[in-house]
Amino acid sequence: MIKKKKVNKRKGNNLTIHFMPYSEISKEDTIGRIKKIMGIILDNKIIILQGKLRPEEEVRLIENSMTLIGNIAGFQGIEIAGISGDNENRGLFDNIRRNIARILIGEQDAITIIGPASVVKEITRDPKKIELMLQKK
Amino acid sequence: MIKIIRNFAQRIFSGIFRKKGEIKLGFYGSPNAGKTSLANKICQDWLGEDLGAVSNMPHETRKIQVKEKVVIEKNGKKIAFKLIDTPGIATKVDFEDFMKFGLSKKEAQTRAKEATQGIIESIKWLDDVDAVIVLIDSTLNPYSQVNITIIGNLVARNIPVLIVANKIDLKKSDIKKVQGAFQEYNVVGVSAKSGENMEEFYEELFRLVKKKR
């Protein structure tokens, strides 16, 4: 019989936010990035990531979360939202410069918030702001 | 050399058969966006039958549902589709949410398990569709990460995508907000329930699959 793992519970009203600079994941492959993120999430911490994941990494993260629901007690999935300067109207030159920078140093001019759904009730995003609502204890 | 010739021949033949065959059209989106309702509407319009059951409870569709040989006719042209209705993609599933709809704890847990498996199945099917309709509930905030993630994945896979803002018959519907959120894409507003604006939808659908044929 498989012994079910448990998500670490929040102690009292403590809330831990883990700031993850892009350099922490820049050299990892998709599996490494997801492993790192999930490790922090299962510790019931909220991640503020400098930069953003690639679409295929986001979808793998969702897939991974779905596999864990029901197998790890108390884990209900994740909440995730990202914000970047993508929607800003830039000139052609600015866009070219930005794309070259992306290729060289990765997508760093974005912020992604990822949290366990047992802690984060909802993350709402409007074009230029993110609101984070926590679960009631 | 033989390998190059074989690959070339394979590409030519698969191209010929794809043109003659059905277009695999996926329906993607968050739970309760109206994917099955729109697929049902299309099936009713062209086959006179439904594809699947709909409900107000999220994750009603928990398995991929397929309807083959749906031939749609527009301006004298006919295209055959294979409709692939996928379970709604979500980042979290809490069985207690289902208990609010009157399910027992056991039933809710079973539904949650099936829902998570359905989401995994939906993601796997992203590699096996020719074109995709992304359904967005136009009464809700369109900037949900699920919508952005789905569309980002389709673009990365070079799969043509049409965004459908559903539920335009409701007072709270705001199609301009959906268009504003996805400015680089074609957005068509419909009501799968009342059938409002389906003609424009079919026109956009034909325009979409032209990119693939």
pLDDT of residue B14: 47
Disruptive mutation site among B91, B114, B129 for chain A (greatest number of A CBs within 10 Å): B91
Chain centre distance of CA B173: 19
Distance CA B168, CA B150 (A): 22
CB-based contact B156 A55, cutoff 8 Å? yes
Q: Which residues of A touch B94 (CB under 8 A)?
A: 76-77, 117
For residue B116, which amino acid is it?
A: T
A61: number of Cβ within 10 Å: 22
Of A12, A45, A25, whose CA–CA distance to A115 is shortest? A45
pLDDT of residue B2: 57
For residue B201, which amino acid is it?
A: F
B160: number of Cβ within 10 Å: 19
pLDDT of residue A72: 93
Q: What is this model's ipTM?
A: 0.85
C-alpha distance from A83 to closest chain B C-alpha (Å): 10
Q: Which residues pair with A122 in a beta bridge?
A: A133
pLDDT of residue A96: 72
10-residue mean pLDDT profile of chain B (213 residues): values are: 55 48 95 96 95 88 94 93 97 95 95 96 96 97 92 95 97 96 94 96 94 64
B167 Cβ partners below 8 Å, 6+ apart?
Answer: B34, B137, B138, B139, B173, B191, B192, B193
Give percent of chain B above pLDDT 70. 89
pTM score of the predicted model: 0.86
Q: What is the pLDDT along chain A (137 residues), one digit of tens a residue?
A: 445 566 666 556 678 999 999 999 999 999 999 999 999 999 999 999 999 999 999 999 999 999 999 999 999 999 999 988 665 556 767 767 766 766 666 667 899 999 999 999 999 888 778 899 998 76
